[in-house]
Amino acid sequence: MNMLKKNDAIFERAKLVIPGGIYGHQSVKQLPKGYPQYFAKADGAYTWDVDGNRYVDYMCGFGTNLLGYRNPEVESAALAQLMLGDTVSGPSELMVTLAEQFVSMITHADWAMFCKNGSDATSIALVAARAYRNKKKILLATGAYHGAAPWNTPVLKGVTPEDRANIIYFEYNNVESLTEAFKAAEGDIAGLYATPFRHEVFEDAYFPSEDYAKAARRLCDEHDALLIVDEVRTGLRLSRDCVWSAMGVQPDLSTWGKAIGNGHCISAVLGSDKVRQAAEEIFVTGSYWYSSVPMAAALATLKQVQSSQYLEHTIAVAQHLRDGIAKQALAYDFELKQTGPAVMPQMLFANDPDVKTGGAWTVAMLKHGAYLHPYHNMFLSAAHTFADIELTLQASEAAFIEISKLR
């Protein structure tokens, strides 16, 4: 029985009018057969595909859903602003209020700029860093994901060497490699990008050492370069502040996106006074960057971030899921590695380089109503309940039983 009959028909139409039928990171073309591409609706912790199949969703819109799909407070604020105006000839007062709110919440931040997606934010930070001392070189960890602009996209088709002429790469969480990268810049380093933890596809996730984070701060200070912490995936999901703040490390710039509007299209660059003049002098813009509806949604999201136990609840249900799956994997004699924080889990089977086992497991879970990813880090939201976790554990056990028969 084809559970995705309507989905497949839509994709056939798409191939005629969209290059490849689909593009970007939400394409399921590289996933095992059985993943839906098109969705009809979402609510709380659930999504429904166009064929009517319901899933407990552990991708959360690739991290955009923090509080739950269609969160009532967020949607009410967005709808109220929509009735007044969204994209007009200038921003509303909400932009100032939202900047004030971020500055009051994030330790290192003295100012904020808003845009639309993570690549916007990381690219703004790059331009600001180069404007800070009129230096060119940018340091990136090899393989780290900071967006899909020519200077950082993981796919090099259409990218020229000139697009990356001023990028220097180093090994993440390796102080010696980072130090050598600073030396290689020969005094011409504008900024260093850092992810709060390593969260790349097909890889185990892990946090860096405190020594590494502090070395990044020290080296930037010594070379008068900017430390840029990329919180696009992690922001508000792991902490109510920058993640590295817990280690006593404050960035000069931080980039935010995905969850800050709980699904509404907004991202941000936050900076310290040290970078204020540079940020004033650069020219970065977008006609939709000043839209008021996403800002209303972001303000409603931040209100719940500060006033509720959303984070503590999400951590608790995420740990329950992790513990339950670990117990099942042991019972069915599978070595399943669960790495990264429980609220952003990465699940990879040992000795599974082609993700054949992982793909079979997650496809089996789809049949039982749970949407997980075989090689990308996942996300939990405050809308996930312990009852949702139990439904997921029923699906995961059924999937373990199914793939056990394939050995």
Domain boundaries, the chain: 5-63+309-404, 75-307
Do 75-307 and 5-63+309-404 fall under one CATH topology? Answer: no
- How far is residue 13 from each of residues 9, 17, 21, 65, 102, measured CA to CA in Å? 7, 7, 8, 29, 43
Whether residue 289 has pLDDT greater than 70: yes
- How far is residue 264 from each of residues 64, 65, 67, 301, measured CA to CA in Å? 8, 9, 12, 10
CA distance linking residue 30 with residue 204, whole number of Å: 19
CA distance linking residue 334 with residue 397, whole number of Å: 12
Class of domain 75-307: alpha beta
Whether residue 403 has pLDDT greater than 70: yes
By percentage, how much of the chain surpasses pLDDT 90? Answer: 99
Residues near 146 by beta carbon (within 8 Å), at least 6 away in sequence: 118, 122, 140, 152, 193, 195, 230, 232
For domain 5-63+309-404, the CATH architecture is: Alpha-Beta Complex (3.90)
CA distance linking residue 231 with residue 203, whole number of Å: 19
Q: What's the confidence (pLDDT) of residue 407?
A: 83
Whether residue 106 has pLDDT greater than 90: yes
CA distance linking residue 289 with residue 116, whole number of Å: 6
CA distance linking residue 370 with residue 56, whole number of Å: 5
Query: For residue 12, how far is the Cα from the chain centroid?
Result: 30
Residues near 188 by beta carbon (within 8 Å), at least 6 away in sequence: 135, 136, 137
Question: pTM of the predicted model, to two decimals?
Answer: 0.96
Q: What's the confidence (pLDDT) of residue 140?
A: 98
Mean pLDDT of the chain: 97
Name the 3-class secondary structure at 139. Answer: strand
Averaged over 234-245, what is the pLDDT?
A: 98
Averaged over 20-43, what is the pLDDT?
A: 96
Whether residue 406 has pLDDT greater than 90: no
CB of 232 closer than 8 Å to CB of 196: no
Q: What's the confidence (pLDDT) of residue 205?
A: 97
Residues near 46 by beta carbon (within 8 Å), at least 6 away in sequence: 54, 55, 56, 57, 69
CA distance linking residue 49 with residue 5, whole number of Å: 11
Q: What's the confidence (pLDDT) of residue 2?
A: 84
Q: What is the pLDDT of residues 137-160, one digit of tens each?
A: 999 999 999 999 999 999 999 999
CB of 232 closer than 8 Å to CB of 122: yes
Averaged over 293-308, what is the pLDDT?
A: 98
By percentage, how much of the chain surpasses pLDDT 70? Answer: 100
CB of 146 closer than 8 Å to CB of 193: yes
Name the 3-class secondary structure at 104. Answer: helix
Query: For residue 170, how far is the Cα from the chain centroid?
Result: 22
Residue 1: pLDDT band with limits 50, 70, 90: low
- Name the residue among 295, 281, 314, 296 with its Cα closest to residue 386: 314
CA distance linking residue 109 with residue 255, whole number of Å: 11
CB of 50 closer than 8 Å to CB of 42: no
Whether residue 265 has pLDDT greater than 70: yes
CA distance linking residue 103 with residue 241, whole number of Å: 11
Q: What is the pLDDT of residues 241-264, one digit of tens each?
A: 999 999 999 999 999 999 999 999
Averaged over 122-147, what is the pLDDT?
A: 98
Q: What is the pLDDT of residues 42-51, one digit of tens each?
A: 999 999 999 9
